[in-house]
Structure 1
């Protein structure tokens, strides 16, 4: 009560509440900004996807093929492992027990008695063997030359004798042959009735499908829905007609048929149709079902079982056991432990996000404050983690590939500091999520450091290939060295084939990363909206269509651009900026002037009348300012990269077209009613102001190069005075407020520009005229 009652305490409390209110209002203002909310949403979504990418709900699987187990590995939990060999054996056995399926067509058998009756009637009517047609003689075995081989011994030598015996069997003394033949046919129908059940198979089907004599056969009648299991012996016609066959053993039960056994058997061989058709689809389906009904067979390993002997490298079989043990342990992890693990990993990701985000906000505002750029950056990080984890397992072991590619891309697109921060974050994520050791972390960071430190500039694609070799050599030496140090017996570690192979494998992935980035540079530049030194060197070629057109239409502007490029590049190099970018951008910065070249002083012929003399100052200003928009349009038509287009837009910033503004002021003074025609805002370039140091340098180079041409006597003192006044005018006009040029850097640029212009306009001695002889 005493605290709240004192005046001092009440004042302090009020001040605290005001500060809290201000903080809350700022926070609400920040969150109400749709752009801020969008960027925060991108960051949060990135963290959530990374949680999935690293499988934050479970511990990483730490073992890899060939990993050395110095002290051995013992099972810490009971688990089961599938036994594929035993499982496949039992499934194959069950599959082989499934019978071959044949479709039955019994209606074909029902036609045989009628066909036999026709032949028997023909025999009864025939007076001699010659009266029978050739087909009937062949079917009944009455032609020696066409008689089936297996029946040769069952027929008399003379066919006429066989015919006479057969005729006597089917003919009646009372000349009522039809009645006897009908009795024979009736008995024959009973004799072949088993064929309606078993059917007749085509021998080719058995041979083609490798169906053996003892294999089970399933006869399926789709009409009746019946299914009968028989053997191959039961469905082969020769077996059916044999003594133990379904027909052969029934001859004795039919007195009318027994005397003509050989003839009828021969006839059946000719006339009996194939009634069983192999159903390969049904057989395959039933066999697959039989395989699926056999459950997976597992081998059980108890806790304490030695999975890897001490001093042994993990082979494929042991890796399967270790994976099974890992999965068994994961299945019994309680929910609260998974939640705790997810929370810890989320907090770790936030720390890494803050580390990288702080650098983005301080040094890469264009990325941090643009949803599209931030989304691209986040997507690359996510893709790297996904691919890194996927490729970290056997047989690839290639997590270094996506890591190094991303680091190289970030070093090219952003800067080395951002690339090394990303490399640190990605390496930590990959090692923690794959169970990588400290030694592996050192290997990956060593290779990443080589990639980053070597990518200050890229003058050619061969630089990236050479870098690939350098990274490969680094990987080989560091990986081999760490494994050598960790080995207690150095003599065995020097030529360990496993370590040497893994070192070479990693070195190969590093080399592949160099080739991959080198070949993908055009796509990288297009995706991130950047331009590399390689592209800049290609664009600096004077044979470019835009430069050729500029030379033809506006030669004065072209000469101005070449001079400006020279002094601008030197100034940019002095402050550590990208001089090549300034030089190439200077070539193209005034291409918009080629559409109306005669309105710009550098393209006017000496002594000719200026076209601006007949125009109002406001109209002249519109034409002068219009060359920026025209230049941007031309650049986009010719697919110039966005950084060059930015230079075209920014090289004048929002500066004042001073000459025509002063002319407008003079006219306004003479005509007080037209004061509004001289408003300063109407005579300024639309901007934006320079956003980079290079754009700021080019603005100054453009201004001083143009102004220096107006000096009648360009002495060093006058040049220095001119340059200083122009620099101060743009500085005080706030043109450098949005770029990172410091006052000391502006001073260095000024000195460089003065030195370059003095070199251009230096005095020359007058050579004496040659005396005439």
Structure 2
């Protein structure tokens, strides 16, 4: 598939990346569109709902809000104020009454005495009549009527017979009636009496007259005094009550219909309340809203802008750029499909199953195969994208929580070390599961929910499963990405390293010396590449094929000459020898291209000599013709572009030179390897790679150790002579 993508990229050129970006943006829109498309329902009142209907937006149910506020106001208890001073004011009214009675009695007696004296003075034989109790009562009424004091109304409310009874009583009796009445009123009004309790409290007070020393007739009068004297002292405060009711109303939160809330289950009757809620969220509105779809389009455009900006900054080759964009699109679309599948399962009744989503999978894979920046971009986009996917299944509040969960969980995948995920098995699996579990606990503690419930338990399990799935799915997808997008895929390299590969079998049979040389260079290169953190598997396989061009003329290369055979170069001019040697690079590129090997291996074949000088034949040519230039005897290149190519360049020359030495010592091997590296550095052969001097030193040490282990001088053990005895 890698070669297939390369061919498409070559045909489309600069249009490839925009086309890929447009294509996967369109796929992402189509995947999410069922969740954001405007919906109108054909719902009939008092009919069975044909499907489960959820709110597509968060709106306030004003009618329910008003009902709740009314109930809250009605639930407020009336505010009463207790006035203990009412005891004194009421008893003072009784005292005023009796003081007034005493005053009238005194005034009547005085007036009567004056009339007697006047009659005696005038010699009248008939004495004036004494004022009757009825007249006194009338006088009392008249006096109280002209008095504006509140206490005066107390006596005005008493019937005439009771006043006459009081005026008929002597001073001692009046004193007893007064004292008894005041004591009973005082005792009754020490407790709080509301309007509702007034009758009951009055009766309790009147019952105490049965235990007094008053006559039956006087008890009736005292009864009236008590009845008028006891009043409510725990009075309703209407203003305070209204304030309390207003506060209760204000504390009532608006009744909201939340996005994703189930309005009616499939098979249930659509009643008045349900129908009204469906209408409130706009599902019965024929003027459909496309705003969620517009929001999705904006998100997709923002993603495209970020990717374009990143591409401009990196300034990569169009081939590399197209490969990265394709892989990004494939993984993001795959994640969107997984997300949508979970949404369909959740909408069928499996609540909170969206938490199983492997949020770290795509960021992890993109970080490993492209760059950490791509992992971060995909993580942010997919978290925002989930708001649209689960739009109709979750409330807006929970949707934000879920997006935050996806973003934080995916962040773990984006910050993973850039080594093969199978080398981080224990760390990644445990870390992702533990992080998701911690997030779920944090959210539940924040919401103050009871952890000992089935729903919370399933949420915790979903979080752990989601973390493990991120790792397991990444591990499962990696080989397919390797094969489809990575030119140096492990499986592909393993296949190419098989000795039964046709090209390797040809090299073994037609150029055995070259085959052995390639194996030696492969061992040296793989070890050295591993020392500097490169791809040792690729380096080994690339070495197997780097000299495949020698198949065209194997006998023109010294390693393939049988022992004692004269080199064909003895019969050729330096220029002819040069052309034969140079051809193994161009022929190797041609053969590998025709056989469909990965471009990276073809690049190694082209770069393994760089633009180095073919010194032996150059010197010979120079001896024959002084006009010969170095450029005529240099390899066509290009120079090594990667660290792996640098290592193979050094190992190839070092192995061939060491093989030509007779029993080289460690010091000779060291001088050889360091000499090759110094001359290549001086010649600028490594200028186009990002190799460092520190890494070159590690490479030298590794190759020296490898050559020393192969070509070191061996001790000649003496032969044991046979005993002739």
TM class by shorter-chain length? 0.5 to 0.7
Q: In 1, distance between residues paired with 2:24 and 2:501?
A: 45
Q: Is 2:574 aligned against 1:617?
A: yes
Q: Aligned equivalents of 1:305 and 1:464: distance in 2?
A: 57
Residue number among 542, 557, 563 corresponding to 2:514 in the alignment = 557
The 1:39–1:448 alpha-carbon spacing in structure 2 relative to 1, beyond 3 Å, is farther
Change (3 A) 1:559 1:536: same
CA distance in 2, matches of 1:715, 1:587: 27
| 2:644 paired with 1:681 | no
Report the secondary structure of 2:530's partner residue. Answer: helix
Q: 1:611 to 1:398 in 2, by over 3 A?
A: farther
Distance (Å, rounded) in 2 between the aligned partners of 1:586 and 1:84: 76
After superposition, the C-alpha distances for 1:320-376 in whole angstroms (9 at most, x for unaligned) are 999986666999899999999977985676456545764x44xxx34x675643552
1:457 matched to which residue of 2?
Answer: 420
Alignment of 1:303 with 2:52, yes or no, is no
| Change over 3 Å in CA distance of 1:583–1:432 after alignment to 2 | same
For 1:738 and 1:356, the matched residues in 2 are separated by 22
CA distance in 2, matches of 1:330, 1:735: 73
Q: Aligned residue for 1:588?
A: 545
CA contact (8 A) 1:50 1:382 kept: no
Check the 8 A contact 1:389/1:399 in 2, yes or no. no
Greater shift in the superposed pair: 425-434 or 699-708: 425-434
User: Is the 2:526–2:540 Cα contact (8 Å) retained in structure 1?
Assistant: yes
8 Å contact kept, 1:487–1:493:
no
Relative distance call for 1:630 and 1:465 in structure 2 (3 A) is farther
1:699 aligns with 2:457: no
Q: What TM-score do you get using the length of structure 2 for normalisation?
A: 0.56
Which residue in 1 is equivalent to 2:184? none
8 Å contact 1:407–1:419 — kept in the other structure?
yes
Distance in 2 separating the partners of 1:50 and 1:563: 49
- The aligned counterpart of 1:646 is 603
Cα gap change, 1:455/1:724 in structure 2, threshold over 3 Å: closer, same or farther? closer
CA drift at 1:599: 0.9
* Selected match of 1:716 from 655, 666, 678: 666
User: Partners in 2 of 1:662 and 1:746 — Cα distance?
Assistant: 29
Residue 698 of structure 2: aligned partner: 748
**Superposed displacement of residue 319, structure 1:** 9.1
**Structure 1: 5+ residue runs without aligned partners?**
1-34, 63-78, 91-300, 670-674
* Cα distance per residue 1:210-241 (max 9 Å; x no partner): xxxxxxxxxxxxxxxxxxxxxxxxxxxxxxxx
Q: Please, which of 484, 497, 502 is the counterpart of residue 540 of structure 1?
A: 497
The CA RMSD measured in Å over matched residues stands at 5.0
Please list the CA deviations of residues 404-433 of structure 1 after superposition, one character each: whole Å capped at 9, or x if unmatched: 554454345335x35533443444443565
Rounded to whole Å, the distance in 2 between the matches of 1:490 and 1:317 is: 26
**SS of equivalent to 2:62:** coil
- Other structure's SS at 1:563 match: helix
Q: 1:478 to 1:594 in 2, by over 3 A?
A: farther
Note the alpha carbon deviations across 1:70-120, whole angstroms, 9 max, x for none.
xxxxxxxxx985427967899xxxxxxxxxxxxxxxxxxxxxxxxxxxxxx
- Give the count of matched residue pairs: 493
Partner of 2:589: 632
The normalised TM-score by structure 1 is 0.53
Alpha-carbon distance, 1:602 to partner: 0.9
- Residue of structure 2 equivalent to 1:731: 681
SS in 2 for 1:654: coil
Equivalent of 2:554 in 592, 597, 613 = 597
2:481 is the alignment partner of 1:481: no
Secondary structure, aligned partner of 2:517: helix
Contact 2:437–2:460 (8 Å) recurs in 1: no
Compared CA separation, residues 667 and 633, structure 1 to 2 (3 A): same
CA separation of 1:589 and 1:721: change in aligned 2, threshold 3 A: same
Structure 2: gaps of 5 or more residues: 1-9, 51-58, 66-253, 267-273, 347-352, 390-395
Distance 1:87 1:738, change over 3 A: farther
1:410 counterpart (362, 366, 378): 366
Taking the aligned partners of 1:302 and 1:371, their CA distance within structure 2 comes to 49
**Residue 380 (structure 1) aligns with:** 330
Distance (whole Å) between structure 2 residues aligned to residue 329 and residue 83 of structure 1 = 8
Aligned equivalent of 1:441:
404
Q: Is the 8 A contact 1:562 1:586 kept in 2?
A: yes
| 1:581-619 CA-partner distances (Å, limit 9, x unpaired) | 212211221122233211111111232111122223222
**Superposed displacement of residue 517, structure 1:** 0.8
Retained in 1: the 8 A contact 2:360–2:412?
Answer: no
**1:440/1:335 CA distance change after superposition, 3 Å:** closer
Residues 172-227 of structure 1, C-alpha deviations (whole Å, 9 max, x = no match):
xxxxxxxxxxxxxxxxxxxxxxxxxxxxxxxxxxxxxxxxxxxxxxxxxxxxxxxx
Q: Following superposition of structure 1 onto structure 2, how do residues 567-578 of structure 1 map, counting pairs within 5 Å?
A: 567-578=524-535
Measured in 1, the distance between the counterparts of 2:518 and 2:695 equals 23
Partner of 2:612, secondary structure, is: coil
Corresponding position: 1:424 with 2:182 = no
Question: Contact 2:607–2:639 at 8 Å: present in 1 too?
Answer: yes
Confirm or deny: 8 A CA contact 1:458 1:534 kept in the other structure: no
Measure the CA separation in 1 of the matches of 2:265 and 2:590: 61
CA contact (8 A) 1:447 1:471 kept: no
Shift of 1:668: 1.5
- C-alpha contact 1:556 1:603 (8 A) present in aligned 2: yes
Q: Is the 8 A contact 1:475 1:506 kept in 2?
A: no
Deviations 1:449-490 (A, max 9, x none): 35873761377xxx7998996688458635643444344134
CA pair 355-541 structure 1, distance change in 2 beyond 3 A: same
Is this contact kept in 1: 2:611–2:638, CA < 8 A? yes
The DSSP-based 3-state class of the residue aligned with 1:640 is coil
Note the 1:71-220 alignment, pairs <5 A: 82-83=42-43
Contact between 1:561 and 1:587, CA under 8 Å: does it hold in 2? yes
Please give the alpha-carbon distance, in whole angstroms, between the structure 2 residues aligned to 1:736 and 1:688. 11
The structural deviation recorded for 1:54 is 6.3
